[in-house]
Amino acid sequence: MSYTLVIHGGAGNITPAIMNAQMEADYTAALQDALRKGSDVLKKGGSAMDAVVAAICEMEDNPLFNAGRGSVFTKKGVNEMDAAVMDGRTLEAGAIAGVRNIKNPIRLAREVMLHSGHVFLSNTGASEFALKQGIETATDEYLFNKSRYDQWVEIRDTDYTQLDHKGDNLKGGPIPNTGHKFGTVGAVACDAAGNIAAGTSTGGMTNKRFNRIGDSPVIGAGTYANNKTCAISCTGHGELFLRAVAAYDVSCLMEYKGLSLQDACDVVIKDKLVKLGGEGGMIAVNAKGEYTFCFNSAGMYRGMANSAGEEIVAYYGQ
């Protein structure tokens, strides 16, 4: 079975200076586990969509990443999670924003796609749908993570928000340097049938308020897939990815301008987003199994595994 699976665990100020040998070992194991879970699906002839969900579930269950179990805390001290999936074969999509107490938000996004009649559900309504569909819930205790909590406590009495992997914040001023660097997760895959799919899951920004929605659950911004062009999952400063309609922009540059997957990602991430002031990255795959990691930040937790037996796990700049 021919396949390609690409994952990310967030982009940002990821440098050797903030890592150590133990952290490198932990992240390597975590990314390899996710690659294995997704590859197991693809090896058996499973769909790109199922592989994307399997890989992301593994990262959601690992507190190292800002998604699912490792989600950061909002201004009110709770976890509010966003996720989306898109199927490149059918252009079907499902997304959720601001849901609480769901073990695997990516599964809920897929359930929205398959059984809601809608594309995008939010907040308590999305939770009601999850309950109705029998999606697995998680207690506050399960979702609690001491390092995320401490990260929040340091800035909860301010108006500051904190992006993962970034030393500054959305208000332009300094915040205490917490030293905790974690990230949004995503996966894209091409399966043996040549179908592609994309998914993204995140806890958003530490100390976020007002039920803020970032780019992750927005089809076209943080997540997009179309067999004709590419499957994309983004991570970074969500507001800028939203304004840039970043994921769909890559698809359009390929479809309408004839750019390669790599060139299209480079235009969006390394030119257009830089000009807008947007830091972050994306992973991409096309229906031929070609893939790329692309980021304008210091690093991005990332991995790739394919049917040729290649496996890549990396963190720092290209």
* Binding-site ranges for its own copies (CB under 8 A): 86, 91-93, 97-98, 116-126, 128-129, 161, 170-171, 209-214, 218-221, 224, 238-239, 242-245, 248-249, 252-253, 256-257, 276
Decide if 223 is catalytic: no
**66: nearest Cα among 132, 157, 131, 161:** 161
Can you tell me the distance from the alpha carbon of 165 to that of 169, in angstroms, rounded to the nearest whole number? 11
- Which CB, 10 or 220, lies closer to its own copies? 220
- Which CB, 185 or 244, lies closer to its own copies? 244
Nearest-approach distance from CB 14 to its own copies, in angstroms: 24
Can you tell me the distance from the alpha carbon of 292 to that of 8, in angstroms, rounded to the nearest whole number? 11
- Which CB, 175 or 313, lies closer to its own copies? 175
Nearest-approach distance from CB 140 to its own copies, in angstroms: 19
Nearest-approach distance from CB 114 to its own copies, in angstroms: 13
- The structure tokens 């939770």 sit at 127
- Which CB, 150 or 159, lies closer to its own copies? 159
- Which CB, 241 or 291, lies closer to its own copies? 241
Can you tell me the distance from the alpha carbon of 286 to that of 302, in angstroms, rounded to the nearest whole number? 17
Is the CB of residue 297 less than 8 Å from the CB of residue 9? no
Can you tell me the distance from the alpha carbon of 284 to that of 261, in angstroms, rounded to the nearest whole number? 7
Q: Are strands 231-236 and 299-306 parallel, antiparallel or unpaired?
A: unpaired
Can you tell me the distance from the alpha carbon of 280 to that of 189, in angstroms, rounded to the nearest whole number? 20
What does each C-alpha distance from 291 to 93, 187, 229 come to in angstroms?
A: 21, 11, 12
For residue 226, give every residue at least 6 positions away whose Cβ sits within 8 Å of its Cβ, in sequence order, or none.
88, 91, 196, 251, 255
Q: Are strands 299-306 and 311-316 parallel, antiparallel or unpaired?
A: antiparallel
Nearest-approach distance from CB 272 to its own copies, in angstroms: 10
Spot the catalytic one: 4, 74, 184, 206.
Answer: 184
**282: nearest Cα among 11, 5, 2:** 11
**What is the total residue count of the chain?**
318
Nearest-approach distance from CB 100 to its own copies, in angstroms: 12
- Which CB, 86 or 187, lies closer to its own copies? 86
Nearest-approach distance from CB 161 to its own copies, in angstroms: 8
Would you please indicate which residues are annotated as catalytic (active-site) residues?
184
